[in-house]
Structure 1
């Protein structure tokens, strides 16, 4: 099932449930409100009747003069109008002195049954109904703030008459119309809203399809201030990253091909010259061939080490080791190369600095830093190594004399195969992978490595290693 169909069912079901519950509550509220309205209307009738009965009580100070005719609800809500007093025919009593003759059916037709009780609750006139059959409406009669009696009226729990039935049917009809119109509006709302809700998802799917097809130059749109906008933003960032990685990969392959082709071309050319008899296979020729083979060996070894670091293949064994001792050993191992390059190396450090690290990898780190300075420092020159210890880390500064590099390129020196088209270039001096491997080793020790200008006129490489890096 498509997402649009699922959303339609969810929204339609949810709104239908809410609408149904609202209509049921409205119907119940109408029923209770309608009964309350009838009760209030009945109370108003009793109050109007009380205005007639209280003066009669005040004249006689009792209810003896009250009979059934006084409880008639005819014209109770209308203002009392004076009637023309006519003299009765001879032998007949006045009308207001005749005993009233009203049947129960007559009272029911004129309104709800009414009964009058005195202050003690004794029935004076009327008929008392059980509370179970009808709803009782009661008001008190007062004379100068003193209760003199009570008027009770009994109305049906659900009034049954033509007017009431017509009113109820009209309300239910209106509720039905409201329900139908609301459902139609709900369907219209869902049909209009779902495409707008799914529009960001469709945009995301289109971008993902472009990425899957290898097109990383996706069109960037304005980001909405919601989760879809954030997802779009992250997807655009992913596209940029993939594009940069592809560009970097292509540049990497091109640079590696160039680095491998140079010594191979030299080897192939010299072998051709020997075969053609142009050059003799003597010791000098063998040294030249050996030099190119060593260059290829170092390049392949650096590539192997870098690949292992990228895939997490380098294994680190952390233990407490003496950093100063490792640096002194590496200076001794590179003494011949330093002397051959007509350079001087100086070490400024405490007698001993202990830290938790992989001794073999730290030795590789120091060796690469020294080799990098030897390759790129003009003779006669100076290489200075300074070791300092702080509370939680140890710092190693390896700096050399001229030449320097452009200030804008210091953050690029750790990139694989980085080249600078100025005096400090690696043409004929190496593949430019040493500092990249150094960065991998430092990262594995949870440290930091940076490059900056040196006061000696060359480059300063700063390494900070935590004293307790651990594995």
Structure 2
């Protein structure tokens, strides 16, 4: 889309016209005042001479001799020359100032047009008046935000396509095999097809929930409850799902840990963290530790898995991010649960964190504000 000025007067013309108009007015007023003052002073001078006493014209002016008239004419001529010189100087100054002001704006307009054509990497570096520089900085900030949004959008589309491709391909291959008679439709095959469909359904549900969470439109029903009780309930729920040789341990000293939050959503956060830890703990333990830290309740989910590389730690709460893509795909992780976890915790005024040393397991958790005791 091209930006058009329409019938509006360009800025350079407005600045030029304004300066020229003010200068012309000033020169004209100054010339008239000088001419009138000089005439009055000259008449007063002549009236004091005996040879001119009482000699006045019908216009109220004194009758002047040839010498006086020549003098007045020379004064008028120099006033006119000065006025013309001032006008020429004003035109030069007006052109310089107008171009000085308009040049950075014209450059900014050109860059904005290129940005509008799709060049999202376009930025401006303008050395001009403070206001124009501030406008350029604002444009650069806007361009950075739009560029980041476009990168996020493209990554989201690519990630969604990647997540859907594998289960859809597996489902299609099995159905085509059944249709061609290559694969026998028995109970095992039917269960496999159902599992693939359920995986797709869960993925779509998670994507929808993530979209709602990141838009800040999740609905919460807040009420005070003891965080330690929810932790214990989710730990009991997870124990039967752990692999043989792995256990779940809960430590919660110094309770109760009363928080004002949505119990269902906080349980969802715990399930996401426990599910993530259990996938990476083939043997050993997953420990859930609840503690009081200042005015907050801190929940740590500690596993004895392979740990997380230092370079991956800052990104594990980003959507679709997986430190080990191949391994996460094998274990069913789509990289959505932790992103939903962060959104829910932040909506409750809390924070998430992750700590790890490769080969020594990982600690992932969150903090929520404790409710103030009544009275």
Q: Which structure 2 residues correspond to residues 419-438 of structure 1 after superposition, within 5 A?
A: 419-421=322-324, 425-438=328-341
Give the aligned partner of residue 380 of structure 1.
Answer: 283
Give the aligned partner of residue 204 of structure 1.
Answer: 108
Give the aligned partner of residue 15 of structure 2.
Answer: 7
1:360 maps to 2:264:
yes
Give the deviation of 1:414 after TM superposition.
1.6
Give the aligned partner of residue 117 of structure 1.
Answer: none
Note if contact 2:291-2:297 (Cα within 8 Å) is conserved in structure 1.
Answer: yes
1:271 pairs, out of 170, 175, 190, with 175
Distance 2:39 2:234 in 1: 97
Distance 2:302 2:9 in 1: 64
1:250 pairs, out of 154, 171, 174, with 154
1:287 maps to 2:295:
no
- Listed one character per residue, the Cα deviations across residues 157-181 of structure 1 (whole Å, up to 9, x for unaligned) are x999878887777656544433332
Distance 2:227 2:34 in 1: 83
Note if contact 1:223-1:230 (Cα within 8 Å) is conserved in structure 2.
Answer: no
- Paired residues, number: 353
- Residues 388 and 195 of structure 1, relative CA distance in 2, 3 Å threshold: same
Give the deviation of 1:383 after TM superposition.
1.7
Task: Compare CA radii of gyration and give the structure with the larger one.
Answer: 1
Distance 2:209 2:33 in 1: 75
Note if contact 2:317-2:342 (Cα within 8 Å) is conserved in structure 1.
Answer: yes
- Residues 3 and 108 of structure 1, relative CA distance in 2, 3 Å threshold: closer
In the superposition, the TM-score normalised over structure 2's length comes to 0.78
Give the aligned partner of residue 411 of structure 1.
Answer: 314
Give the deviation of 1:437 after TM superposition.
0.8
What SS does the aligned partner of 1:408 have?
Answer: coil
Give the deviation of 1:420 after TM superposition.
2.9
1:332 pairs, out of 236, 258, 278, with 236
- Residues 159 and 394 of structure 1, relative CA distance in 2, 3 Å threshold: farther
1:227 maps to 2:131:
yes
Give the aligned partner of residue 393 of structure 1.
Answer: 296
Note if contact 2:101-2:128 (Cα within 8 Å) is conserved in structure 1.
Answer: no
Distance 2:251 2:72 in 1: 102
Give the deviation of 1:191 after TM superposition.
2.4
Give the aligned partner of residue 321 of structure 1.
Answer: 225
- Residues 21 and 314 of structure 1, relative CA distance in 2, 3 Å threshold: farther
- Listed one character per residue, the Cα deviations across residues 213-240 of structure 1 (whole Å, up to 9, x for unaligned) are 2221326546557332333234234334
- Residues 198 and 342 of structure 1, relative CA distance in 2, 3 Å threshold: farther
Note if contact 2:298-2:365 (Cα within 8 Å) is conserved in structure 1.
Answer: yes
Distance 1:254 1:261 in 2: 10
Distance 1:23 1:396 in 2: 85
Q: Which structure 2 residues correspond to residues 23-62 of structure 1 after superposition, within 5 A?
A: none
Note if contact 1:223-1:232 (Cα within 8 Å) is conserved in structure 2.
Answer: no
Note if contact 2:302-2:361 (Cα within 8 Å) is conserved in structure 1.
Answer: yes
- Listed one character per residue, the Cα deviations across residues 358-388 of structure 1 (whole Å, up to 9, x for unaligned) are 222222222211111122x131032222222
- Judge which range, 194-203 or 163-172, deviates more: 163-172
Distance 1:172 1:278 in 2: 112
Distance 2:328 2:88 in 1: 76
- Residues 388 and 22 of structure 1, relative CA distance in 2, 3 Å threshold: farther
Give the aligned partner of residue 213 of structure 1.
Answer: 117
- Judge which range, 15-24 or 431-440, deviates more: 15-24
- Judge which range, 243-252 or 440-449, deviates more: 243-252
Note if contact 1:450-1:461 (Cα within 8 Å) is conserved in structure 2.
Answer: yes
- Residues 422 and 296 of structure 1, relative CA distance in 2, 3 Å threshold: closer
Give the deviation of 1:314 after TM superposition.
1.4
- Residues 378 and 354 of structure 1, relative CA distance in 2, 3 Å threshold: closer
1:347 maps to 2:250:
yes
What SS does the aligned partner of 1:344 have?
Answer: strand
Note if contact 1:322-1:353 (Cα within 8 Å) is conserved in structure 2.
Answer: yes
Note if contact 1:399-1:456 (Cα within 8 Å) is conserved in structure 2.
Answer: no
Q: Structure 2 regions of 5+ residues with no counterpart?
A: 1-7, 54-60
1:109 maps to 2:13:
no
1:301 maps to 2:242:
no
| Structure with the larger RCO, 1 or 2 (CA within 8 Å, 6+ apart) | 2
What SS does the aligned partner of 1:313 have?
Answer: coil
- Residues 381 and 234 of structure 1, relative CA distance in 2, 3 Å threshold: farther
Distance 2:246 2:39 in 1: 104
> What root-mean-square deviation, in Å, do the aligned CA atoms of Structure 1 and Structure 2 show?
3.7
